[in-house]
Amino acid sequence: MFTGMFRTLAALSATLAIATGALAQGYPTRPVKIIVPFAAGGPADVYARVLGQKLQESMGQPFVIEDMPGGGSIVGTSAVAQSAPDGYTLLMMSNTHTVNESLIAKKPFELMRDFVPVAPVNYSDLVLVVHPSVPAKTLKEFIALAKAKPGELNYASSGPGTPYHMAGELFKAMAGVNIVHVPYKGSSGARTDILGGQVQMMFDAITTMAPNVEAGKVRALGTSGKERSSVLPNVPTISEAGVPGYEATIWLGIMAPKGTPQAIIDRLNAEIRKVVNSPDIKAEWGKQGAVGMSMTPAEFDKYLRGDIEKWAKIVKISGARQDR
């Protein structure tokens, strides 16, 4: 009796494995949507389009990028959380999402409850820039200016919880300065106003701000990595320029709604890792200051949980927690 039962279970398991494999091999059979919950023109939008084009080439179906900004990523992320878990709606996320888990008390989703990790994409350092009208020529001079004028200087970000916001809060805490946060609906608006002089300071991704630094439209006072950026080698790190131990980055990844078949998750992970590990992408992103990240879904899951824990501590120190 038990022998027959085990044989039946084994047969069912084999059938399921074959069906699961077939599902992954057949996917996708129609266009896949990648929702970017940030404004057009920022790193998430730019790299989602690069990734989408490469996945379309390798997987044979269009990967359509849809920008859905609002609420510091809440609007677009909520839309993905409510989508069918079939692999045809994906989320381009960033460390904004891991920050929001502790920063925003009330939101319509929980990251690790309502989504499953697919794969990380890349990371890049940030650069602290000021408008040329700001008299400070170095980071130490800027810190001295901010201390002399508490609450009179401001800094732009792409919204609450974004890497630009938290980089600013971390800088304020570590440098001991009082600079007013001015949140925008996206990085494009913040970038426009730092270039126009409506705000004095901003943290931005090196990948998008470096051309403006090189053109003299803004003055770079420091980069946020452990080492100097190869894109802006003459700009010191914030750590070496006056705030020892300072470090912040922006990273991007792909997640899917909870319940998406594991076979599809694994297929997407494999294809994304091929993209980020390809020599041409490594070379292209390297010139821009971005570094590809390659992890299994399980490794990315661990990475996400660690980042949530890390930023919870920084949110607590900064006192930046908000309700919705």
Predicted confidence at residue 8, as pLDDT, reads 56
CB 103 within 8 A of CB 320: yes
What's the whole-number mean pLDDT along residues 264-268? 98
Cβ count near 164 (within 10 Å): 27
Q: pLDDT for 130-186, tens place per residue?
A: 999 999 999 999 999 999 999 999 999 988 888 999 999 999 999 999 999 999 988
Predicted confidence at residue 235, as pLDDT, reads 98
Q: pLDDT for 195-232, tens place per residue?
A: 999 999 999 999 999 999 999 999 999 999 999 999 99
CB 228 within 8 A of CB 237: yes
Q: Do domains 2-124+251-318 and 125-241 have the same CATH topology?
A: yes
Q: Which CATH architecture has domain 2-124+251-318?
A: 3-Layer(aba) Sandwich (3.40)
Looking at the predicted structure, is the pLDDT value of residue 76 above 90? yes
Q: Where are the domains of the chain?
A: 2-124+251-318, 125-241
Whole-prediction pTM value?
0.84
Between CA 142 and CA 134 the distance in angstroms is 8
Query: What DSSP letter does each residue of 228-267 carry, written as one string?
Result: --SSSTTSPBHHHHT-TT---EEEEEEEEETT--HHHHHH
CATH no., domain 125-241: 3.40.190.10
